[in-house]
Chains A and B, each alone.
Chain A
Amino acid sequence: MHTTTSSVTLAVAVFLASGVESVEALTIIVAAGVSRGWRSALEGMAAALVVLTLLVGALGPALVYLVPINVLRVVVGGLLLVFGLQWLRKAVLRAVGLKAKHDEDAIFKRHVEALSPGGDEQTGQSDSRPGKRGRATRDAAGFAVAFKGTFLEGLEVVIIVLGLGGGDHQLGLASASAAAAIVVVGGIGLAVARQLANVPENAMKTVVGLMLVSFGTFWTGEGLDVRWPGSDLAILVLVAAYAVVTWALMRLMRPSALPTDQERAHA
């Protein structure tokens, strides 16, 4: 029996994580559409979505019904911990300025430049040779880039959906949340053209990282027969505790919190 708390937390975690990945995929699709034509870009995106749907359809039930629940929880819990800690680490480093912020505008420009007539998608360089294809015809590069971008970012969504949904036998809810996030991001993307840089991605990544690490800790513990006090409510306690620690780490690692060269010399 799932509590409302765990269902809501799971739905929010999947929605935010899928939203972040969708923004990244949308940047690539829009870049391919603008520079190589919308027909090929949308076909590439659609093809990738079909492959990803088949993947969830094939792997989801097998994971949920064939793998022993405790093994599943330790494996997906471990994956969520690794994934979540990577996100949190990046979020902290970006917040304190030790890592460049994820700039969707810069990524968009890079893709457009590489995909422009004469551009080289592999190297990201462009030259002045005229392109061979018009925008109305099918374009292999536009299709491939949109497919690759959607598939790779979508694969991360699939792992999150299977991990969060499969670990708690709530695959339907996780899939619906991911689909809702994709629709919302797609709708916003269409509405605001490509103002994706305005999405507060680092804040969203911090929240998603916190949730993935919390779910990862909870389910790995369940798989290892750890009995959490308060059962599913422990997830909220874990989210709060990890949030406090992350905030403290961001404060501690701020450049002003670190000793300056002069202070180091005096010490």
Chain B
Amino acid sequence: MPEGRPPRVAPLWRRWLKGFGAFWWDFLVGDTPEILIGVLVVIGAVALIAKAASLNTLAVIAFPLLVVAVLGGSLVWAGRAKD
């Protein structure tokens, strides 16, 4: 760096925006992207069952089971990563 020139600092609004984006990325994705993807897939599947096919009983049963499948899948993934 040339002597005497102060280091470039990003404007405050850009640092805030970057921090805000980083917070949401960490909050929603973090080290478990499979949970976010799984939840989106589950919501899509339940929407199809409940709204498109009007199968309420199936939606009531399938929704918690799919959520459990997402949790189980993420735990198996974590367990394998440790091995």
Contacts and interface: CB of A to CB of B under 8 A. Distances in A.
Contacts of A68: none
Interface in A197-250: 213, 217, 220-221, 224-229, 238, 241-242, 245-246, 249
Contact of A229 (B30, B42, B50, B60): B60
B32 A86 contact: yes
A159 B28 CA distance: 12
Contacts of A227: 56, 60
B79 A249 contact: no
Contacts of B32: 85-86, 89
B46 A78 contact: no
A224 B43 contact: yes
B46 A224 contact: yes
A89 B51 CA distance: 30
A191 to B, nearest CB: 31
A221 B67 CA distance: 12
B59 A249 contact: no
Contacts of A245: 68, 71
Given A86-B32, A226-B56, A220 B64 contact: no
B35 A217 contact: no
Contacts of B30: 86
A98 B23 contact: no
Contact of B46 (A82, A85, A220, A228): A220
A185 interface: no
| Contact size range, A | 35 or more
A81 interface: yes
B79 A242 contact: no
Contacts of A229: 60
Contacts of A221: 46, 50, 59-60, 63
B20 to A, nearest CB: 10
A228 to B, nearest CB: 6
Contacts of B63: 217, 220-221, 226
Contacts of A74: 43
A78 B23 contact: no
A217 B79 contact: no
Given A85-B67, A241-B64, A98 B43 contact: no
Contacts of A98: 78-79, 82
B65 to A, nearest CB: 10
A79 to B, nearest CB: 8
A69 interface: no
10 contacts: A85-B38, A85-B67, A220-B63, A221-B59, A221-B63, A226-B46, A226-B56, A226-B59, A226-B60, A242-B64
Given A98-B79, A242-B64, A253-B79, 4 more contacts: A82-B35, A89-B35, A89-B75, A249-B72
